[in-house]
Amino acid sequence: MILHKIFLIFLLRCTGLLSSDEFRTEFVLMRDGKKLAVDFYRSSTIEKLPAILEMTPYGRNLGFTFRGESEFWYRNGYIFVIADTRGTGDSEGDFEFFSEDGDDGFDLIEWIGKQPWSNGKVAMRGSSYSGTNQWYVAARKPKNLFCINPSATLGRPLDLPPYNNAFSLNWAFGWIAKSANLPNNSMKWINPDPSQWLKHRPLYTLDEFVTGRVLPLYRKFLQHPIIDSYWDLLVLKPDNYSQIDIPSLSFTGWFDGTMYGTIMHFKDISKHSPRKNDHFLIVGPYSHGNAPDGGLDFQTGKPIKHLGDLILEDNAFLPGLNMTKEFYDWCLKDGPRPSWKPAKVYITGTNAWREGSYFLTDNLEDKYLYLKSGNGAASIKGDGELDFDCPQYGSDSFEYNPDEPVKSDLSKNVVLPVDMNFYLNRSDFLVYTSQVVKQAFTIFGEVKLELTFSSSVRDTDFVAFLMDVDENNRSIKLGSKETFQLRTRYRYGFDKEVLMEPNKIYNLTIDMHEMGHTFLPGHRVRLAITSSFYPIISANLNTGNSIAFDMGPAIKCSQTIYHGMPSNGLTSRIHFKSNDLNKDCF
């Protein structure tokens, strides 16, 4: 694809369709004296055009623009400007994970506004990192910024990389040492096999063990294990959203690890922006990578029909790029306003779109499915159940050995809706399954797992999966993350660490973020709970020591989940929202 683009530019140049001065690199001065590298294409005519800015940490030269789209925008009368974020690629300064992007974006937009080829109107484009940073730029209110297109964005700090602070090792190395164009990143690692990482202590120096280099950003994340001032700088407050008086269009998917953040920004901007009704959100059955293109492969334009173990219907796909053009034509060229409703959300199972305002959560009721068991819920062979009625007192236990954690099968992308049966016969998984569904029902909105538990150690992890068991008994994983987990020291929030007294009973809530899914007749609801999923998350050594500097040794522990304790009001249950779930459903 990239070569194809280079060839195309070459061809256009040779045929005289594009004069040689149209592709330009410049170094743009920021307010603190650092220079950022930008590339852009400009028309050889004297016509002044609107511009689209992307700020990327992935290397502006790779394919020239967001997904090699520069030519598409060029043909449609836009100038695509792409910048290496500070400290990446050819840009000066240190990479600071978003905290400098707001000011840098503001300065870049000022610069674009002063160029002879600019008509003074600028939009932003990008997804993931280059989606997220648009919110920080927009909150600074550059006068030439007319709209943003922030897809697949991070939200709350601690979403990534230390997601809920059970540190996301696989992500941390994959991103810092490979994807991002940072100093010291490298495709060749000295110890690429995650099973060898397990014995390395402490976590803080694992970067050198794995890649052979010090990765300053990896270490910085580990130095900030709670939401402190480092992370708080990245939290947009209601006052920040209220500054954003321009439209936005965001795409995400139910299987996008950054779905939570994308929906969070949409909810907040729809609440606090002076232009509440000019924000659009699309949530399809998409992954992180294909959400911005409405589920289409951005290289071939074809629908990606197989997503994990799901096969999608034709109606799941949207022309994402064309919709973005329609949106820009409206806010940058005074074209007609898109006729879409603010929120457009695809419900899997029934495979139908819902459209409306805000996040469509009107008329939903709180519902609960309680965990219970007879002889015990350990493994798929146990008799764990999910039921509407709060059960009699009972409990289920399992052992967790940090030296032998559950190993995630890295040959499958487990952020996608994959069959989890491979794992469920392990005795360190508790498995709870409902009766067969008789009447279809839909869960929509936030899902939370409330657990009453005890552990024989002072700190440990709980990891949970929600699944739809189909007619063939495949346990298809639901939700936007590889796992939903909580390190127990954060059970009272991510701004403090509170250890436990061994064997004392506590409760915690695991946030499973939003879901939108219909359980069809013949299917069953299934929940699985364990304490590790390595190396998607680092194995908790159970010592309660500092996560970064713990030297071990790891402590084996025994975990107990309790059900039905009406005396103190605590029990274990899944809390979700639905408007069509009732006792006749099972």
Ligand X SMILES: *[C@@H]1O[C@H](CO)[C@@H](O)[C@H](O)[C@H]1NC(C)=O
33 dihedral zone (left: phi>0; alpha: psi -120 to 50; beta): left
Which DSSP symbol is given to 243? T
- H/E stretch holding 262: helix 259-272
Cis peptide before 319 (omega within 30 of 0): no
What is d(CA 430, CA 449) in angstroms, rounded to the nearest whole number? 14
What is d(CA 474, CA 230) in angstroms, rounded to the nearest whole number? 43
What is the maximum span of the chain, computed from C-alpha positions, in angstroms? 82
Minimum CB distance to ligand X smaller for 79 or for 431: 431
Minimum CB distance to ligand X smaller for 19 or for 186: 186
What's the min distance (Å) between Cβ of 298 and ligand X?
Answer: 11
Minimum CB distance to ligand X smaller for 413 or for 507: 507
Minimum CB distance to ligand X smaller for 288 or for 491: 491
Minimum CB distance to ligand X smaller for 20 or for 195: 195
Minimum CB distance to ligand X smaller for 184 or for 191: 184
Minimum CB distance to ligand X smaller for 214 or for 352: 214
Beta bridge partners of 79: 51
What's the min distance (Å) between Cβ of 562 and ligand X?
Answer: 12
What's the min distance (Å) between Cβ of 36 and ligand X?
Answer: 17
Minimum CB distance to ligand X smaller for 124 or for 555: 124
Sign of the torsion angle spanned by Cα atoms 206, 85, 248, 74:
negative
Which DSSP symbol is given to 165? G
What's the min distance (Å) between Cβ of 268 and ligand X?
Answer: 12
Which DSSP symbol is given to 189? -
Minimum CB distance to ligand X smaller for 116 or for 569: 569
Q: Which residue is nearest to ligand X (CB)?
A: 319
137 three-state secondary structure: helix
What is d(CA 36, CA 92) in angstroms, rounded to the nearest whole number? 6
What's the min distance (Å) between Cβ of 502 and ligand X?
Answer: 19
Minimum CB distance to ligand X smaller for 319 or for 552: 319
Q: Which two tokens stand for residue 170?
A: 């696989």
Percentages helix, strand, coil for the chain (3-state, rounded to 5) are: 25, 30, 50
What is d(CA 329, CA 76) in angstroms, rounded to the nearest whole number? 9
What's the min distance (Å) between Cβ of 506 and ligand X?
Answer: 8
Minimum CB distance to ligand X smaller for 517 or for 524: 524
Cite the DSSP H helix spans in 88-223.
101-114, 129-138, 169-174, 194-197, 206-211, 216-223
**Judging by DSSP bridges, how do beta strands 506-519 and 557-563 pair with one another?**
unpaired
What's the min distance (Å) between Cβ of 429 and ligand X?
Answer: 10
Contact 250, 266 (CB under 8 A): yes
Beta bridge partners of 509: 450
What's the min distance (Å) between Cβ of 294 and ligand X?
Answer: 8
Minimum CB distance to ligand X smaller for 338 or for 552: 338
Residues 6+ away with beta carbon under 8 Å from 47: none
Contact 390, 382 (CB under 8 A): no
What is d(CA 390, CA 292) in angstroms, rounded to the nearest whole number? 42
What is d(CA 414, CA 68) in angstroms, rounded to the nearest whole number? 28
What is d(CA 318, CA 326) in angstroms, rounded to the nearest whole number? 13
Q: Which two tokens stand for residue 155?
A: 């939200």
C-alpha dist (Å) from residue 311 to 251, 316, 351, 416, 481 = 20, 10, 11, 12, 19
What's the min distance (Å) between Cβ of 70 and ligand X?
Answer: 17
What's the min distance (Å) between Cβ of 440 and ligand X?
Answer: 19
Residues shown for the chain: 586
Contact 483, 407 (CB under 8 A): no
Minimum CB distance to ligand X smaller for 82 or for 570: 570
What's the min distance (Å) between Cβ of 450 and ligand X?
Answer: 6
Residues that bind ligand X (CB under 6 A): 102, 136, 139, 183-184, 213-214, 216, 234, 236-237, 239-240, 301, 319, 322, 422, 425-426, 450, 472-473, 491, 507-509, 569-570
